[in-house]
Amino acid sequence: MWEAIALSFGLAMDATAVSAARGLAGHHRRELVILPLVFGGFQSGLSALGWFGGDWASAHLGSWGNWIAFGLLLAIGAKMIVDAWRGDGDAEHVPGTIAVYFGLAVATSIDAVVAGLTLPLVPVAPSLSIILIGAITAACSAAGYAAGRALGGKLGPQLGYLGGLALIAIGVSMLIR
């Protein structure tokens, strides 16, 4: 059981960091609910895809997955930096779009496909591992968003620069893994 929990926390870290970056930038409060649901759902779903898809998913995403994640995080991070530079003070009142949420979820969940391949090796039922992956990712994402929002409220809206740079750094780290 501990192996499944450790795997879940490991997979949740990218989503947690992205949620914190969104919170730092002062995006709409609705994201405290939306991001955990989307990130938890995608982590679970793509882990299940890896488990069911097996070798096919690994072979097709293995060489391009990190590049896809990098591109998505670079684009979204750059947009956050541009918004901060423009002084878009209305960011708190404007929720993200479905495309932004989908892009972030895919970018942070690509590694879950590969992790899904290992689920039969974890000493608990793969279905329980998939549930743990989604639940822990959702909880960590909510905590990350809330922490980022609290820090962003104290330090000001210019933290959008920091949030954008954090997303780009996560994307770069995916390339050098």
pLDDT in tens, 4-23: 888 888 888 888 888 988 88
Q: How far apart are CA 46 and CA 116, in angstroms?
A: 7
Average pLDDT score over the chain: 80
Q: What is the pLDDT of residue 112?
A: 83
Q: What is the pLDDT of residue 91?
A: 47
Predicted structure pTM score:
0.73
CB 31 within 8 A of CB 170: no
Q: What is the pLDDT of residue 44?
A: 96
Q: What is the pLDDT of residue 48?
A: 93
pLDDT in tens, 84-133: 677 655 444 456 788 889 988 988 888 788 778 778 777 889 999 999 99
CB 144 within 8 A of CB 50: no
Residues in the chain, total: 177
pLDDT in tens, 151-166: 876 766 566 677 678 7
- Mean pLDDT for 33-62 is 82
